Structure 1
Amino acid sequence: MTNNLPLTVRRSIEVMGLFFLGWLIVLGKGILAPLLMAFFLSIMLLPIYRFFRSKNLPEAVSIGISLLVLVLLMAGIVWFFSYQISSLASDFPTIQKNVTNHLRTLSAWVEDISPLSTEEQTSFISEQSSRILSYAGNMLSGAALSITGIFVFIGLLPIYIFLLLFYKNLLLRFVFFWFSNDKHEKVEGAMREMETIIKSYLFGLLIQITYITILLGGILMIVGIKHAILIGVIFAFLNLIPYVGALLGNIIGVLITLASSSELWPIVTVLGVIAAVQFLDNNILMPRIVGSKVRINALASIVGVIVAGEIAGVIGMFLSLPIIAVLKIIFDRTESFKQWGILFGDERPSESPMEEPALREDSEHVERQLQRENEIEPTDHTDLDGDTRR
C-alpha cells in the first residue's frame, strides 16, 4: 500500500513513524527495558532449553533449569565482585594514607604554579565538599526511586524470561500472521538470522569478559599491581558498553591504582596494559569470536549508545548494539527501509556517490563489492517486500 504513495509522502511517514516510536519508547521505558533484556537473555538460554527438551523433560521444567543456570551465573558474578571489593576495603587504611600523600603532592604542585596557598586550597576543597554533600542529600529521594526501580527490574526479569520461553510458539505465530503466506519463508529466514546474530553477540560478550579478565588481571598481577583482578573484572564489564565503557574502565583502573600505590609508575603500567589488551580485543579476538556477518558503523554505534543511555540508562547502553543489529537485519530485508540499513551498516564505499553514479542505486553487484572491500561476510537473503536477492 505505502509503495504506491509518492516518495516524499513515504519518507514523511517514515520520519513521523520514527518520532512516535521514539516517543512511545521514552514513555514505556520502564516496561520495555526489562522486556528487551529478557528477550535477549531468553534467546541466549535457548540452547540449554532445547537440550533439556530433547531429553523429553516437561517444558516448564526445562525453562526452570535454564533459569536456574542463569541465576547461578549471576550469583557467581555478584559473589566475585563482593569478594574483590571486600579485599579492596580491607586495605582502606593504606588507601587513605596513599590518597593523603597524593593530595599533598598535588597541593604543593598547585602552590608552585599558582598564588593559592595550602590553606586556601583546603578552604576551597572544604567548601566544594559541603556543596557536593548537600547536592547528594537532595538527590537521595531520586536514588531511592532508582534502587526501587532496580529491584523491580530484577524481579520482572525471570518472570519475563519464563513467559517468553513458555509462549515462544504463540509469539512466533503472532509474527507470521503479520505477513502474507508467500512471505513466510522470508520472515523465517530473517528470524533465524536474528537469533544467530543475537546468540553470537551475547555469547561473544561472555567470552570477551572471561579473556579480558584473565589477560588484564593476570598481566597486572604478574607485574605486581595491587587489586589487579578487580581492575580486570571492572574493565571487562564496563567494556560491554561500547566506546563509553572503555573510557570509564581506564579512569576507574587508574583511580584504584593511584589509591593503592604511593608511586606513579603503576599508573603508566595499568594504562599501557589496558591499551595493549584493548587493541588485541578490538582487532584480533572479538572480530573472530563474534564474526563479521552484521557490522555496525562507529557513528551509528556512538549515537545509539548515547540515545539508549538517555532513554534507559546503563541497560539501554548495553542493549543498544544488539538492537541496532536486529534493526539492520530487518531494514536490509525490507525494500521500503533499505536506506536505514545502509545508514547503520559499515559497508563504506571507497569512492564518493557524487562521482560514481552506480553507488546511488540499489544494486546487488555493488553491495557484494562493498562487502568484499570492507571484509564483511556476505549474506544471501530475500527481501520481506518480495524481491529475491542472491
Structure 2
Amino acid sequence: MALPVRDQMKYWGIAAAVFLALLYLLGNVILPFVLGMAVAYMLDPVADRLETWGFSRIAATVVITLAAAVLFVLVALLVIPTLIKQATDLVNIAPELIDNLQNFLTEKFPVLLDQTSQLRQTLVKIGETIQSKGGELLSGALASAMSVFNVLMLLVLVPVITFYLLMDWDRMVAEIDALLPRDHAPVIRRLAGDIDRTLASFIRGQGTVCLILGTFYAAGLMLVGLKFGLVAGAIAGALTFIPYVGAIVGGLLSIGLALFQFWGEWHWIAAVVGIFAIGQFVEGNILTPNLVGSSIGLHPVWLIFALSAFGTMFGFVGMLVAVPVAAALGVITRFAVLQYRDSRLYQGLSALPDDDES
C-alpha cells in the first residue's frame, strides 16, 4: 500500500529543507564538489560517445581530462591575462569616457550642460564612482575568487572530483535509480528525464552557444580595432544564456565604446553594429535551432529570479545550483498543473459519467 499523499509531502519537504540547510551551511565547502558535478554532467555525453567508438570508460575519462587540461592551460595563458587587463583599463578610463560624453552633449546641447546643471554634476559623479568603486569591485572580486578558488581547488581538487564523477557517472545513476520508491519509480524517471532534457538543452546547448558567440564577438570587435573588444565580447557571450540580454548589453557597451573611439569614422561604427547583427542572425537561425533545439526550456524571467534568489541566499554556490533547481521546479510545476487539470477539483461535475450526474 502506497504512503498517503500527506506523508509523501512531509518526507519530500524534509528532504528539500535538508538540501537547503546543507547548501547554506556548507556553501564554500561543497563548492568544488558542485563544480565537479556540473563539469562531469556536461562531459558525460562526450564520454558516452567515446565509449561507442570503442574506448573503455576509464580511457574515455582520461582522454577528456587531458584535453580539458590542455585547453585550460591555453586559455589561462592566452586569454585570461588580456581579459583582466582590459577590464581594469576599462574601469580606469571610465571618467575619460564620461568627459567625452559631457563634451559631446555640451557641444550639441549647451543649455543643458552648463557648469551648474544637475545633469553635468551627475555625469561627473558617475565617472568618479565607476573609477573608485569599480576598481574596488574588480579587485574584491579577484581576491574573493582567489580565496574561494584557491590553488588546491582549482588545480587539484575540482579536476580530481570531476575525473571520478565522470568515470562513475553511469554507475551512480543506476544506483540512484535502484533506490527510487517502487510505486513512484516510473513517474520519477519520467520527470527526471524531462529535467535532464531541460538541463541538457540549456546548459550544454546554450553554454555552447554562449561560447561560440562570445568568441565571435570578441574576435570581431578586436579585428575592427575596438578597445576593450575582448571584454565587451566576453560580456555579450556570457549573458547570451538569457535571451536578448547578451546582445543588448554587449551591443550597447560595444557601440558606446565605438562612438567614443571612432567618432566621425562611421564605417567602423557600422562595422561594430554589423558584428552584433550577424551574431544575432547566426544565433537565431543556426546556433539555437541546432544546438538548443525546441525542447522544454527555462523562461528568462524564471531564470533571472532563480539566479537572484539563490545567489542572494547562498552566494556563488547558490548561483551554480540555481539553474538545475529552476529546471527541476519548472518540470515539477508543469507536471502538477497537468495532474490538476485531470483531477475532479479542476473538472468538477463534468468529469463524472452521465449516469452519476443523473
Cα distance change, pair 243–358 in 1 and its aligned pair in 2 (3 A): farther
Q: Does 1:303 align with 2:305?
A: yes
| Matching of residues 328-367 of structure 1 within 5 Å | 328-329=330-331, 331=332, 338-339=335-336, 360=346
| CA distance in structure 2 between the aligned counterparts of 1:100 and 1:301, rounded to whole angstroms | 33
Q: Which moved more, 1:165-174 or 1:48-57?
A: 48-57
The aligned counterpart of 1:161 is: 162
The aligned counterpart of 1:208 is: 209
Q: TM-score, normalised by structure 1?
A: 0.61
| CA distance in structure 2 between the aligned counterparts of 1:134 and 1:325, rounded to whole angstroms | 35
Contact 1:98–1:260, Cα closer than 8 Å, also in 2? no
| CA distance in structure 1 between the aligned counterparts of 2:186 and 2:153, rounded to whole angstroms | 36
The aligned counterpart of 1:69 is: 67
Structure holding more helix per residue: 2
Structure 2 residue matching 1:293: 3-state secondary structure: coil
Q: Which amino acid aligns with 1:338?
A: F
Cα distance change, pair 319–225 in 1 and its aligned pair in 2 (3 A): farther
Contact 1:43–1:195, Cα closer than 8 Å, also in 2? no
Cα distance change, pair 14–240 in 1 and its aligned pair in 2 (3 A): same
| Matching of residues 371-390 of structure 1 within 5 Å | none
Contact 2:197–2:296, Cα closer than 8 Å, also in 1? no
| CA distance in structure 1 between the aligned counterparts of 2:281 and 2:143, rounded to whole angstroms | 39
Give, in angstroms, the shift of residue 149 of structure 1.
Answer: 0.6
Q: Does 1:293 align with 2:295?
A: yes
| CA distance in structure 2 between the aligned counterparts of 1:180 and 1:14, rounded to whole angstroms | 12
Cα distance change, pair 196–271 in 1 and its aligned pair in 2 (3 A): same
| Matching of residues 89-238 of structure 1 within 5 Å | 99=97, 102-103=100-101, 105-106=103-104, 108=106, 112-116=111-115, 125=124, 129=128, 133=132, 144-151=143-150, 154-155=154-155, 156-168=157-169, 170-181=171-182, 194-209=195-210, 211-213=212-214, 216=217, 224=224, 226=226, 230=230, 231-238=232-239
| CA distance in structure 2 between the aligned counterparts of 1:43 and 1:17, rounded to whole angstroms | 22
Cα distance change, pair 65–341 in 1 and its aligned pair in 2 (3 A): farther
Cα distance change, pair 342–35 in 1 and its aligned pair in 2 (3 A): farther
Q: TM-score, normalised by structure 2?
A: 0.66
| CA distance in structure 1 between the aligned counterparts of 2:233 and 2:225, rounded to whole angstroms | 11
| Matching of residues 28-67 of structure 1 within 5 Å | 28-53=26-51, 59-67=57-65
| CA distance in structure 2 between the aligned counterparts of 1:176 and 1:235, rounded to whole angstroms | 39
Q: Which amino acid aligns with 1:108?
A: T
Give, in angstroms, the shift of residue 161 of structure 1.
Answer: 0.7
Contact 1:242–1:305, Cα closer than 8 Å, also in 2? no
Structure 2 segments unaligned to the other structure (5+ residues): 349-358
Give, in angstroms, the shift of residue 326 of structure 1.
Answer: 4.2
Give, in angstroms, the shift of residue 207 of structure 1.
Answer: 3.9
Superposed CA deviations along residues 105-146 of structure 1, whole A, max 9, x for unmatched, are 15736863145259x979994898489748966996786344
Q: Please report the RMSD computed on the Cα atoms of aligned residues, expressed in angstroms.
A: 5.2
